Amino acid sequence: MSKQRTRSPRARPAEGVRAFKRGLDVLREVNRSGGIRAGDVARQLDLPRPTVYRLLETLEELGYVARSASDDRFRVTRHALSLGDGYDPGIFICQVAASYLAELSRTVVWPVDLSTYENASMVIQETTHARSPLSIDRGMIGKRLPMLQTSAGRAYLAACAPAERDVIINHLRRIDDADDRPFLAPDRLKRMIVETSQRGYAIRNEGEYNARTSSIAVPITRGDVVFGCISIIWIRSAMSLDEAVAKYAAPLLETAAAIPVEA
């Protein structure tokens, strides 16, 4: 009996340390991935799924991770980022914008994407593709979109500060992607920037990037800071650009203006 009594106090701290270590491992894996499902965490760490689910639920309750509204992926929150000195705008915009995208998707049946700028591309951070019955794409989160051939990229370029735009354009010229060259022609590029700025939204409707679809996008801006872009994508044969603009431009603009971000 005395041996059992002396062992049990030692066993409990050991179990607590193991659980704490597993929790840190899970948090580290979520942070490393940028967005991951519970089952994938379990496979990466070779842990039982029920254990991972419990740990993720605890981390969510504590405010260190949040579940995506669109595809059940977990991402670290600003609370977790505050433990270090990093700041990820993609994580931030997902947190504040997810509920607004969900609300927009209730009235817009076509897929809606939220993307942010990263190294000469727009990267999809949130999407309703998985929930839209009209989507022809899946697994869109993390996909990189070209700046000049997509409405999201065009919306970002038209809305960002001129100095930032020049840096991005010069970067694209150095990359020298053959598909970008027609859009880098000075007159065409200037016309796109001016027209997009005047409209307040960007369009893709000439079969570029994806011949089957068209899209319109609006930037999420406060002052001269662009936090990201919201896009609606539809099948070209199902709806004209004029119809799409008439139906969706205003809701897109209203949603972008309502998302609570601060410059």
Range name among 134-143, 167-176, 231-240 with the lowest pLDDT average: 134-143
d(C-alpha 74, C-alpha 12), whole Å: 29
Residue 86 amino acid letter: G
Is residue 3 scored above 50 in pLDDT?
no
Closest listed residue to residue 23, CA positions, set 74, 98, 85, 89: 74
Residue keyed to tokens 């990466």? 44
Grade residue 94 by pLDDT with cuts at 50, 70 and 90.
confident
pLDDT in tens, 180-232: 999 999 999 999 999 999 999 999 999 999 999 999 999 999 887 899 999 99
In a domain, 75, yes or no: yes
Residue 224 is classified by DSSP as T
Domain check: are 216 and 122 in the same one?
yes
pLDDT in tens, 71-81: 688 888 766 65
The average confidence (pLDDT) of the chain is 84
Note down the domain range covering 65. 2-81
pLDDT in tens, 143-178: 899 999 999 999 999 999 998 999 999 999 999 999
Domain end (from 46, 64, 81): 81
CA-based angle 176:179:183, to the nearest 5? 85
In a domain, 263, yes or no: no
